[in-house]
Amino acid sequence: MMALAHRKFDSSTIVIASHNAGKVREINDLLKPYGVKAISAEELNLPEPEETGTTFIANAELKAHAAAEASGFPALADDSGLCVTALNGDPGIYSARWGGPAKDFHVAMEKVTKALDHLDTDDRSAHFICALCLAWPDGYKETFEGAVHGDLAWPPRGEKGFGYDPIFVPQGHDITFGEMEPDAKHAMSHRADAFQQLIDACFNA
């Protein structure tokens, strides 16, 4: 079977279609080796489109296309979330919304833990999923999806990550993403997995 051709990224500027400072910082760290100037949607005062997709990929696509069309630059969007096995994959694409209107992840982490406590199960397995979409102003897109598996801990530990990181212990480790140094997390995270696929397809010759 012939491998699918991918469009190569040849711009010096990319818009990160997110208003999440932690996510923007993490993607910027991953982009640094490629000499690309990354600008966040917040810096450009771009509106946040409503996430109406029913999958991580669909939400990443709509955010990337909206930012590329509004800015005139290629745009990279990430849609990611925590999928808890015993909760049938919840909170999933609604991960941020579990934190309420303020998207308070302390509230979200407590809600996940309380939901598990109400179940008669010792299963604390979970995985993060990250969908990436790189979209160009002409409407072309490339999409990728990565994952990392682990277990949930309580109470939250560490302040180095963001989102659900303080309760997620990746497989093979005994510390949470919130306790882990950024470089170590970048080497194994769901975002790193998806990002490596993106780099191999669109950045590496």
Active-site residue flag, 138:
no
Q: How far apart are CA 204 and CA 167, in angstroms?
A: 34
CA distance 196 to 16: 17
Give the C-alpha separation, 179 to 65, whole Å.
34
Q: State the alpha helices, DSSP H only, in 32-128.
A: 56-71, 105-117
Q: Which H helix or E strand runs over 200?
A: none
- The SS3 call for residue 133 is strand
Amino acid at 135: A
The three-class DSSP label of residue 155 is coil
In terms of Cα–Cα distance, which of 31, 41, 26 is closest to 75? 41
Query: Which of the residues 78, 79, 165, 193 is marked catalytic?
Result: 79
Residues 125 and 147 sit within 8 Å (Cβ to Cβ):
no
Provide the annotated active-site residues: 79
